[in-house]
Homo-oligomer: A and B are copies of this chain.
Amino acid sequence: MKEIIGGPGTVSGLLLRIGQFVFAAASISVMTSAIGFSTYTSFCYLIASMGLQLLWSFGLACLDIYALRRKKDLQNPVLVSLFVVVGMTNNSLNLQVTAMLSLAAACSSAGVVVLYARDMNFCKIHPELPCSRYEISILLAFITWLQVSISSHVMFWILASV
């Protein structure tokens, strides 16, 4: 089984996990710094979803670091039978679910911001609304989703080709 870019136990995979972690953290911090975000269900959901992503990415990054330091190849055919079938089915499903949740959270928040900024022109009428902060936070959430989506597709691909 050849090494797949972004797969578990690879440097590219670790970088992907760190990227997920950093962007999810940035998204949460920008959103929480915007005044009045808690009145919007969608924005609270975005924070919850990104928080879940943060914990999950941290866990996977730790696993990657462990694999890289111990020079253990998680893609080794012998370990595959142990790790992949038991652990990765779980990981792949979890990644798919968290990717879906991230996309759902980002899109529902984007729906609210588009309503405010374009359809209702609230952002111009009420300049005290921190619309730009909402927008930046949602953009960061979309970048997080993109990375998680790549991870989950790679994992699903590995799982299916075993």
**A positions within 8 Å CB-CB of B:** 39-42, 100, 103-105, 107-112, 114-115, 118-119, 153, 156-157, 159-161
Given contacts A108-B108, A156-B160, A160-B160, contact A41 B103 (CB under 8 A): no
Out of B42, B103, B115, B118, name the residue touching A104 (CB < 8 Å).
B103
Q: How far is the CB of A88 from chain B (nearest CB, A)?
A: 13
Residues of B within 8 A of A104 (CB): 103, 107
Residues of B within 8 A of A110 (CB): 108, 111
A–B Cβ pairs within 8 angstroms, 23 of them: A39-B119, A40-B115, A41-B115, A41-B118, A41-B119, A42-B115, A100-B103, A103-B107, A104-B107, A105-B107, A107-B108, A107-B111, A108-B108, A108-B110, A108-B111, A108-B114, A109-B111, A111-B112, A112-B112, A112-B115, A153-B156, A157-B160, A161-B161
Q: Using A39-B119, A156-B156 as known contacts, list a sample of 4 further A-B pairs with CB atoms less than 8 Å apart, ordered by residue number in A.
A: A41-B115, A42-B115, A103-B107, A160-B160
> Across chains A and B, which 5 residue pairs bring their CB atoms closest together, nearest first?
A108-B111, A160-B160, A111-B111, A107-B107, A42-B111
SS of A interface (majority): helix
Residues of B within 8 A of A105 (CB): 107
For the complex, give the distance between the alpha carbons of A42 and B120 in Å: 12
Q: How far is the CB of A68 from chain B (nearest CB, A)?
A: 25
For the complex, give the distance between the alpha carbons of A83 and B150 in Å: 25
Residues of B within 8 A of A114 (CB): 41-42, 108
For the complex, give the distance between the alpha carbons of A156 and B161 in Å: 11
Residues of B within 8 A of A111 (CB): 42, 107-112
